Structure 1
Amino acid sequence: MVSVKALLLLTLGSITLALPPPLPFPLPLNALIEKRQCVESCGSTCYYQSTINAAVSKGCSYLQSNQQVGTGNYPHVYNNYEGFDFAANSPYYEFPILHSFQPYTGGSPGPDRVVFTGGCALQGLITHTGASGNNFLEC
């Protein structure tokens, strides 16, 4: 006859074997932050790559369909009066990127912008936050 203790050990042993292998410790950084990693900060707002991509995509969609939205008529040409060093040549276009992480469709544009080329290549993020007048600073 099997004792209760032996039965309990046998049951616990089978449960342990059914568990997945333990995770490595410490966890690899990419396991902790996969898609929600801050890649760019404008002022106190940290933007994810997916949010940046969505803003460029939305702005580029308007540009390619020859449409503009909002009182600032976005997207519009960004003249780069500040002289930022972008990878591609002008013309550049600016389009709002919002603190709500939703694509801009009109209304208040907030202080932050994505800058992209006519070919929809991201050049950088700029912000009015901390800049004087209507100037921009790089994020």
Structure 2
Amino acid sequence: MAPTKSLKFLALLAYLLLAVSLALAKNIKCVGNQYKDPGQLWLTFQGHPGPYDYRDSNGALIKRYPHLFQNTEGFIFTNCPGNGVLNEFPVTPKHLLYTGGRPGPDRLVYRTDLHGERTLCLPFVTHTNALNNSFNLCTQ
């Protein structure tokens, strides 16, 4: 069954909104770390989404990324509306893709909808200066 014109239009609109939000997402700051092109980091992540493991010195699994972002802080990501699961994934200030090991404090957050489509939620979040392993919002 061929997609209807309205579905094609909605898909195009969603793509354009993502492109605009990524274009506007320049220079995110997370307490000492700066991300000059989060859109590029997001595109790199989408090509290599994991999972990646963080293990202790004995090889026991501590965490696997990406994983569920609980959002116990109640952050509102205005560019990331809708329903779906929020996940977190470590980012590094050198714009390298996280592939395991100690993850560092900063995370990108994304929403996965019922169709498996991912949307980057901005800004990033950080554990830096947050209490009890919670998060603070980074700034744009």
TM-score by length of 2: 0.62
> Which structure 2 segments of 5+ residues have no match?
1-24, 55-62
Structure 1 distance, partners of 2:111, 2:72, is 16
Following superposition, the deviation at residue 40 of structure 1 comes to 0.5
Structure 1 ranges of 4+ moved more than 4 A: none
State the partner residue of 1:106.
Answer: 100
Residue of structure 2 equivalent to 1:48: 36
Higher strand share: 2
Three-state SS of the structure 2 residue aligned to 1:110 is: coil
Match of 2:64 in 1: 73
User: Is 2:71 aligned against 1:83?
Assistant: no
Q: Once the 2 structures are TM-superposed, how far is the Cα of residue 90 of structure 1 from its aligned partner?
A: 3.4
Instruction: Note the C-alpha offset of 1:59.
Output: 4.1
Identify unmatched segments of 5+ residues in structure 1. Answer: 1-36
Letter in 2 for 1:114: L
RMSD: 2.3
Structure of greater Rg: 1
Conserved in 2, the CA contact under 8 Å of 1:79 and 1:91? no
**Aligned pair 1:92/2:86, yes or no?**
yes
What's the offset of the Cα at 1:38?
5.2
**Alignment partner of 2:27: what SS?**
strand
Q: Map 1:1-139; keep pairs closer than 5 Å.
A: 39-49=27-37, 52-61=38-47, 63=49, 67-71=50-54, 72-86=63-77, 87-88=80-81, 89-118=83-112, 119-124=117-122, 125-139=124-138
Tell me how many residue pairs correspond in the alignment: 99
Cα distance in structure 1, aligned partners of 2:33 and 2:106: 9
Q: Secondary structure at the match of 1:121?
A: strand
CA distance 1:61–1:76, change in 2 (3 Å): farther
Match of 2:10 in 1: none
Q: What displacement does 1:56 show?
A: 2.7
Deviations 1:58-81 (A, max 9, x none): 544455xxx410222111111111
Distance (Å, rounded) in 2 between the aligned partners of 1:44 and 1:38:
16
Question: Normalized against structure 1, the TM-score is what?
Answer: 0.62
Distance 1:62 1:97, change over 3 A: same
Q: Pick closer, same or farther for the CA change 1:96–1:113 going to 2, 3 Å.
A: same
